[in-house]
Amino acid sequence: MRDSDATMIRSLPLFHDMADDSFEELVRGAYVQSFPPMVDLLIEGDSSDFLHIVIDGTVELTAGWNEGETTMTVLREGATFILAAVVRDAPNLMSARTLEKSKVIMLPAEDVRRVFEQDHAFARAVVRELAFCYRGVIKCVKGLKLRTSLERLANYLLKWQKKLGGDACFTLPVEKRRLASILGMTPENLSRAIKALRPYGVVVTGLNVEITKPDDLKQLAKPTPLIDDTRS
Amino acid sequence: MRDSDATMIRSLPLFHDMADDSFEELVRGAYVQSFPPMVDLLIEGDSSDFLHIVIDGTVELTAGWNEGETTMTVLREGATFILAAVVRDAPNLMSARTLEKSKVIMLPAEDVRRVFEQDHAFARAVVRELAFCYRGVIKCVKGLKLRTSLERLANYLLKWQKKLGGDACFTLPVEKRRLASILGMTPENLSRAIKALRPYGVVVTGLNVEITKPDDLKQLAKPTPLIDDTRS
DNA sequence: CCTTTCGTTTGACATATATCAATCAGGGAT
DNA sequence: ATCCCTGATTGATATATGTCAAACGAAAGG
């Protein structure tokens, strides 16, 4: 592993506070790999031998059942995945594949578990990370059960607008059919939902979004930190 | 706190392996309370000052948005709740209320965090518990996004049949309108879904369920451990 | 025992969402 | 530049699910 990669993951909350030698021990056995787009990294149901960290690019987590597949989330630089499966030594509940050319660090699950035993700061960070992920999924369930697809879309747009700096114009971070899957609808329906948001000041051209009447959109979306806040 | 209560929670995975004095420290500041049915224990959005443990009875976790409310889960003896919020010192994402007369232990969040710092076995148990909860919610999302309400009901019935011993006859653990909310549908729709399962050998009388053709039902439900397995 | 209440069920209807097929548009590759 | 491929859109239609109102039934209280 390059120094720059080590520095990068060292700065992540999960690894930031741990002892130097614990970090060394983790990094020693790590693999760094670059993958082209659309490569499967993990298959749902397989055992989880490595904790994965996205260094660069984007990775999609999906789940399937009975011919169907849905996108659970899309991960970017700094995100870790299948921590829960590694901790419990249980099969992956989701598949993972690269969307773009991506660089991923893989830490052997054994090492993670061993260092976890030794280093209390790391243990605490793992707890915080898992609690964070848990709360993220809870919010996802709340959105699915309490909101219509139009409302989910409206809140998604507001969330990303804020995340990307708050400008009236911004670019969608994923292609539309994946966005549809994330929001739990079909691509056709997303198309129609986008049109339905036009009266609320939403103009979408390709992946570009402009929100001209944020107050009107918020009145429809009714965002709340208890569902839409990414941190906390 | 009575000895019997202490013994009970000591036997839970979360507290089983911790040091005796850590456990003492936790129990020292604990409150044990009995509540009548339909009492609010927590309100969504409030800060989380106590880790809660259900000793007896049933507690419902709900979430609301814009006039609507949905049941996220129903907890029974031995279940802990809002661990994630306590760990992150963040607002509750769900409300909690008793369904039956219930006994609940409340451990001050401060104590939990402090003992967590000192006792590595406890820290590990917290990690395992959080990972377990996380995986439970992920399965919930998969069910919501990949299955119809009929399929969710069919799998719910099979899951509880197995959990209650595998007999052809068993009793639903919650009233129907709550079951509807858990499954993400309306009570009216649940009624119709139950009727729709009759050709698959499902006879429901009040809260009593009989599954006469389990193979037929399984063919419809297509259960998979990656969604329907409660443990792991 | 009756009454009241609340949860359930049923039917009619409205809405939301998915499906299918066809067309359209943009980005690479040749 | 042209072609081809893939994703996006549109329209027509089907299905799933929610809503409203009414009727029903079981359990609790007087």
Nearest protein residue to nucleotide C25, judged by CA and C1' positions: A206
**pLDDT at position B231, please?**
86
**pLDDT at position A26, please?**
95
User: A88 and B232 in contact by Cβ < 8 A?
Assistant: yes
CA angle A102, A130, A178 (to 5 degrees): 40
- B232 pLDDT higher than 90: no
Mean pLDDT of chain B: 96
Tens-digit pLDDT profile for chain A (232 aa)? Answer: 889 999 999 999 999 999 999 999 999 999 999 999 999 999 999 999 999 999 999 999 999 999 999 999 999 999 999 999 999 999 999 999 999 999 999 999 999 999 998 999 999 999 999 999 999 999 999 999 999 999 999 999 999 999 999 999 999 999 999 999 999 999 999 999 999 999 999 999 999 999 999 999 999 999 999 999 998 8
DSSP B96-132: EEESSSEEEEEEEHHHHHHHHHH-HHHHHHHHHHHHH
Average pLDDT of the segment spanning B205-223: 97
User: What pLDDT band is residue B182 in, cutting at 50, 70 and 90?
Assistant: very high
**pLDDT at position B1, please?**
85
**pLDDT at position A87, please?**
93
> In 3D, which of A123, A134, A93, A232 has the Cα closest to residue B125?
A123
**pLDDT at position A130, please?**
97
B44 touches chain A (CB under 8 A): yes
Strands B202-205, A102-108: pairing is unpaired
For B184-188, the CB contacts below 8 A with 24+ separation are B184/A144, B184/A145, B184/B70, B184/B144, B184/B149, B184/B152, B185/B149, B185/B152
- B215 pLDDT higher than 90: yes
User: What pLDDT band is residue B6 in, cutting at 50, 70 and 90?
Assistant: very high
A231 touches chain B (CB under 8 A): no
pTM for the model: 0.96
B13 touches chain A (CB under 8 A): no
User: What pLDDT band is residue B4 in, cutting at 50, 70 and 90?
Assistant: very high
pLDDT in tens, B23-48: 999 999 999 999 999 999 999 999 99
- B194 pLDDT higher than 90: yes
**pLDDT at position B17, please?**
96
Per residue in A146-170, is it b (16+ CB within 10 Å) or e — as a string?
bbebbbbbbbbbbbbbeeeeeeeeb
Share of chain B above pLDDT 90, in %: 98
Chain A partners of B63 at a C-beta cutoff of 8 Å? 138, 141-142, 145-146, 226
C1' of C13 to CA of B153 (Å): 25
**pLDDT at position A232, please?**
82
Protein-proximal nucleotides of chain C (any atom < 7 Å from a CB): 7-12, 16-21, 26-27
